[in-house]
Amino acid sequence: MGKALNPSYKLYHPKWYRRRMPIFWWLGRFSYTKFITRELTSVCVAYSAVVLLVQIWALGRGEDAYRGFVDWLRLPGVLWFHLAVFFIVLLHSITWLNLAPKALVLHLAGRRVPDTVILAGHYLAWLAASGLVAWLLIGT
């Protein structure tokens, strides 16, 4: 409607100041690099979940499909890749658990529980869960 009455009218759009940010801005500080690395390792966590779902899918399709999937897992390139994924997921797990004292603040008898106690509890729970899974897979 405004343009029909005044064809030379332009809507006013303020230009906000935006500082140019290089693509690798996060390499400027170690804390930023650590944060972005932890975020990028979640891609390997997602990949591990997809591999597990494909394994379940192959198991549901029958013995031949599952045997083909296991044969693919035994290829040297796949083994090396999955070894790298394992260490990346391990790094993700460790950095995630190290965040627990910052995210979980516990008070007991009016005093804050020390960060080391919270960390120890999380690592012991991780060790217990890993031991249970290993016992279920190997012990039976």
Q: How many domains does the chain have?
A: 2
The string of pLDDT tens digits covering residues 10-64 is 777 777 888 888 999 889 999 999 989 999 999 999 999 999 999 999 999 999 9
For the chain, state the CA radius of gyration.
26
Whether the Cβ atoms of residue 33 and residue 27 lie closer than 8 Å to each other = yes
- Give me the pLDDT at residue 91, please: 94
77 and 51 in a single domain? The answer is: yes
Examine the pLDDT at 3 and tell me if it is beyond 60: no
pLDDT band of 1, cuts 50, 70, 90 = low
- The whole-angstrom separation of Cα 102 and Cα 111 is 16
107 is a domain residue: no
The string of pLDDT tens digits covering residues 59-118 is: 999 999 999 999 999 999 999 999 999 999 999 999 999 999 988 888 999 999 999 999
The answer, yes or no, to whether residue 4 has pLDDT greater than 70, is no
Domain that holds residue 138: 112-140
Q: Measured between alpha carbons, how far is 81 from 87 in angstroms, rounded to an integer?
A: 10
Query: Quick one: 87 and 122 in the same domain?
Result: no
Beta strands in 53-140 (DSSP E): 107-108, 111-112
